[in-house]
Amino acid sequence: LQIVNTLFACGIAFVGWRILTHLEVTGKKLVVLTAFLSFGPTLYWLGTELNNDCLMTLLQAMTIEQPILWAKKPRTGVIIKMALLLALAMLTKTSAVLIAPAIGCVFLYELIRRIRQKDGVWPLIGQFALFAVISIPLGTSYVLRNWFLFQVPPNYVPNLGPNHPQYVGSCSVLRRLGL
């Protein structure tokens, strides 16, 4: 199972490199930033854990790549891909929705830019609506399912008592980091 998470961590490094190339970072800066991302301890820790954090981070990185592409050329296909990736990230772990405000800022920036240039804003508003129609129902479907079927609140976190084998409240910070 750790090999799967390690592959996800390698995918994060690859998507990070793609994001840097989309942002037109070249030369030594590209090499240094890619090396920093690839060999940083964060991906090591994510890649060795047995949870869904690494997959969620990979899907978030793939989602972050899409607004960059969309800002260069607003296309409906990119919006659909962005909405599906965000929904998949939210289905992996609900906290993936935390990148939605950043996506909203990109949308707002492009809308304001179009209004100032007196370009057509209605195609953008249609794309925003399409994004919401795809990402919101798909991303919240599992949380809503659990709420309706089992009355599990959307913010529910299981309580691990002090006798549970996964309880780490009595461990020091250094021990939690594996040092």
18-32: pLDDT as tens digits? 999 999 999 999 999
**DSSP state at residue 169:** T
Lowest mean pLDDT among 3-7, 10-14, 86-90: 3-7
- Distance, in Å, from the CA atom of 111 to the CA atom of 97, rounded to the nearest integer, reads 22
pLDDT of 163 reads 84
State the Cα–Cα distance between residues 167 and 81, nearest whole angstrom. 38
Q: What are phi and psi of 161, to 5 degrees?
A: -70, 165
Cβ pair 82, 133 in contact under 8 A: no
Instruction: Centre a 10 Å sphere on the Cβ of residue 52 and count the other Cβ atoms it contains.
Output: 15
Q: What is the pLDDT of residue 166?
A: 74
The dihedral sign for the CA sequence 89, 92, 94, 95? negative
Q: Give the integer Cα–Cα distance in Å for 154 and 10.
A: 31
Q: Counting runs of H as helices and runs of E as strands, what totals does the chain give? A: 8, 0
Greater confidence, 139 or 120? Answer: 139
- 72-75: list long-range contacts, CB under 8 Å, 24+ apart: 72/22, 74/110, 74/123, 74/124, 74/127
Pair of tokens at residue 92: 């992996």
33-78 residue pLDDT tens: 999 999 988 888 888 888 899 999 999 999 999 999 999 999 999 9
Mean pLDDT of 126-149: 95
